[in-house]
Amino acid sequence: MHILVITPGFPENENDTSSLPAMYEYFSALLAEHSSPKITVVSIHYPYSNITYCWKGIQVFNCGGGSINYPFKILFWIRAIFHSLKINKQLKVDVIHSFWLTESALIGSILSKIFNVRHICTIMGQDAKKANTYLKILPLKNIIKVALSEYHSNYFKKSAGLQPNYIIPWGIKAIKVQENKRPIDIIGVGSLIPLKNYKLFIDIVAKLKEDFPSINCILIGEGTEKSELVKEIEKKNLSKNITLTGQLPHEEVLLKMMKSKILLHTSNYESFGLVILEGLASGCYVVCKKVGIAKETKKILIIKNIEDTFLAIKRIINNTKNFSPKIPYPIADTVSSYKKLYKACTILNV
């Protein structure tokens, strides 16, 4: 079985775990399977150079689109199609798997007709929102659509008027928790953009400081709101309580999580919330809005209002000593689900 993957980006090399950690995890786990299919990748934008390289045995054809905008990006779509035609000539493609319901899905749909094979698209994030203009031009009924969570599926249905064909959670591998000392009270991880709502993070920490003057918090990430968040931290006199680390390698992020009591995730939207899963796997309690996979459990506390959130966090800081890791969605289950879907698609092609 030969799977052609169309994606906006793919890890640059085998050490590039930070650029697209979800893709790194999934394809590493897929390749580790005894009967893994043949995979070839066409990446439109990242890495930024027009090169072909090998990643853990996978041949990656990169188009080098970088951050180029429409209409010039069409040239790189054409390059992606030419790469794919060459790939199919060398070894017949059995299934196309695109990621993100955007330009990669558009290219995947074109190639699906040319090769007469099934096209799977994993909806990865904000591409489920109504603002995604590709929803109006894609042949959605001809695409096998995969959402990452029930929340994500319902969001897409409201946007496009169609139910995704499958829900396959995006799992992770087990994280070896190295120690149970938790000097960091609260950690935040994500892009510093309006969607992630880190002003609420700062407001919550400011209220907690009234009871915990030395509360120790870190916020990992880069983004357009960074300068505003720095001003807000200074305004609320939290410079000694909240450390902005900037972007960190994925392995270092996980190490920071393992030293933290609580992952406070204030995002207004998540398709799945991989960071929530990583927080649980690192032994953290998770405090977040009801987005993605987040549902109220003993280890996940849903933000309803700032007062309830404050009381819940206070109880964890004061009383909790058990930071055992939880992995509700193992990466092996994700791989197993997609392998079954790939097989079903090849049968349907006959």
CB atoms closer than 10 angstroms to residue 144:
20
Q: Are residues 21 and 132 in the same domain?
A: yes
First-residue to last-residue Cα distance in the chain: 13
Confidence of residue 176 (pLDDT cuts 50, 70, 90): confident
CB half-sphere exposure, 157, CA atoms < 13 A: 11
3-state secondary structure of 336: helix
Written as six digits, the tokens of 85 are 């035609």
Whether 304 is in a domain gets the answer yes
For the cut 50, the answer to whether the pLDDT of residue 41 exceeds it is yes
Give the integer Cα–Cα distance in Å for 258 and 341: 34
Give the integer Cα–Cα distance in Å for 334 and 253: 23
Q: Are residues 243 and 195 in the same domain?
A: yes
Using one digit for the tens of pLDDT, what is the confidence trace for 227-266? 999 999 999 999 999 999 999 988 899 999 999 999 999 9
Q: What is the pTM of this model?
A: 0.90
Q: Are residues 105 and 129 in the same domain?
A: yes
Q: Are residues 193 and 301 in the same domain?
A: yes
What percent of the chain stands above pLDDT 90? 76
Q: Are residues 142 and 237 in the same domain?
A: no
Written as six digits, the tokens of 4 are 């052609």
Q: Are residues 155 and 22 in the same domain?
A: yes
Residue 41 phi, psi (nearest 5): -115, 135
Give the integer Cα–Cα distance in Å for 30 and 11: 15
Domain of 244 in residue numbering reads as 184-319
CB atoms closer than 10 angstroms to residue 51:
13
In the structure, how many helices (H) and strands (E) does the chain have?
A: 10, 14
Q: Are residues 42 and 160 in the same domain?
A: yes
